[in-house]
Amino acid sequence: MSEKLLSCLQASGLAAALPENEANKVAAELDEITGQQVYSRSITAADKAVFFLARDGEIKSLGLISADAGLHRKFVGSIAEVVLDKQTLLLTLAETSSANAAALRSILPFLNPTTLGLKKSAGCGDRLGLATPGHIRAIRHSTMAPILAQQSIRENARTGRTPQQVMDEALWGIFQEGWREGFGADADHLKNTADIDSCAAAGFTFYTIDPGEHVDNEANTAPVDVLKTKIAALDWAALETSWEATQAALGGKIDLGSFSVTISKEDLLRSAAKYGRVVAHTVKMYRHLETVMNSKPFELEMSVDETETVTTLAEHIYIAHELKRLGVRWVSLAPRYVGDFEKGVDYIGDLAEFETSFTQHLAVSKTFGPYKLSLHSGSDKFSVYPIASRVAGELVHLKTAGTSYLEALRAIGKVNPSLFRDIVAFAKERYPIDRASYHVSAQVEKMQNVDELPNDKLTTLLDDFHAREILHVTFGSVLHHAEFREPFFATLRQHEGVYYDMLETHFGKHFAPFDEAAAAKA
């Protein structure tokens, strides 16, 4: 046994992570002891024990070496004696189960999610439960604070996962990579209190409330007499105010720091009619969340991005003023911005108009917060990132999800061309149905023909606008299809390094503009 492994087994408390060269040497020793391939970054010494993650084929196992029999009994696995340097120790190899994840989380504090506060941050959604190591490898080169467990209830339903599975699979990726710099866990797009309960039970720390179904989109263009009827019908008891009081509070000049605005009576009517029910629902969700979390720290994001109409400056002011008046505390908010944030493709719209609008929205966030402006459907919006970073600085949150699935398809296209071709053909058939709940504009007839591409050019299909959206929104159908699910996951597990490399490169492109803008200001 090497001196380094011996010192790891003698460490008190949580020892510092091993330098790369030393970790590789210890991993080689653990390879011989276990007969498996040990991930060197996972090696963690704590309280005279060594924890690690090992791989045998496609199966990963938690490893533990220690003389403490009581410690081993915390995990469900196979226990054997090993003699190292004339010492008889115990070796446990345990499956990566939820119970073992909970036990490991209780021992290694860096595996517990935390709140991120007002640091610029990035949500790295992972619909497969395999992407976290690649996300971390990109984050290591960035100044963004990561959310590494993130999935919406809608996506859980389509992938057959639970909030606990999302949390646990992120944990194993974090452990594999030895990430100790902190991370958030986003229970995304929650619509009711039952969603909150299941995500709180799984340990999430960041809650994105989606009150989109309470938005009255008709108020965007309705005549004034109709707006007055809508105002009269609002649940003013739930809002704990009256229309008269609302007018008194927001009817005058609003100072936003670098400029001020005066909200007209009609604009205020429109704002309250459109978003009054949104405010009431968000307050209800927030207060339930406070009760469920029972003094445990959490962060709230409110999102109205998936709606038909743009959130105006007056409407943003109304939302922020009312939430603050009602005692809601939130860390970020996602308005419906000008232009189009379609899934998996770059921003569609006038960038100068976006910058002007985004700057105004930021003034609202600074006045009523501060809180971050959140970029939902933020994947692949490369033309927007420099603007958002330059304007908002730290007060920005980037949310991604489906782009990691697209990179999985890119990896499959490289190493399993026949499977990729079959998935593409199936996705084209499913797209007319699956697009219904997404804001996309791709057309099947305009998609590049995969049959015209040789195997070594297949991955270029992932650079085609129409193909990206078609493949993006059909993920649930693909993952539920018996013909695809098993080979899909088996291919990625067998070639995980290819997938990680693609994720690191792709997410590096996402994060770099935020780091470059920060460096330019320094």
Q: What is the set of active-site residues?
A: 188, 301
User: CA–CA distance from 119 to each of 29, 116, 144, 373 (Å)?
Assistant: 40, 6, 8, 11
In the beta sheet, which residues pair with residue 78?
93
Residue whose entry in the numeric block shows the structure tokens 């993006």? 472
Return left, alpha or beta for 57; rule: phi > 0 is left, psi -120 to 50 is alpha, else beta: left
**β-strands 37-38, 49-56 pairing:** antiparallel
Looking at residue 307, its amino acid is: T
Q: Quote the distance between the C-alpha of residue 53 and its chain's center.
A: 24
Helix axes 385-392, 496-521, angle to 10 degrees: 40
Among candidate residues 117, 90, 208, the one with its CA nearest the CA of residue 394: 117
Among candidate residues 61, 66, 68, the one with its CA nearest the CA of residue 91: 66
Q: What are the backbone dihedrals phi and psi of residue 363, each rounded to the nearest 5 degrees, phi first?
A: -60, -35
d(CA 396, CA 358): 11
Looking at residue 38, its amino acid is: V
Q: Is 13 exposed, middle or buried (0-12, 13-18, 19+ CB in 10 A)?
A: exposed
In three-state secondary structure terms, 15 is coil
Looking at residue 165, its amino acid is: Q
d(CA 87, CA 8): 14
* Strand stretches in 199-281, DSSP E: 206-209, 253-255, 260-262
Q: Which two tokens stand for residue 156?
A: 């859980």
Q: Which two tokens stand for residue 29?
A: 């020793």
> Would the CA dihedral through 100, 102, 107, 112 be positive or negative?
positive
User: CA–CA distance from 187 to each of 191, 269, 285, 377 (Å)?
Assistant: 11, 32, 13, 15
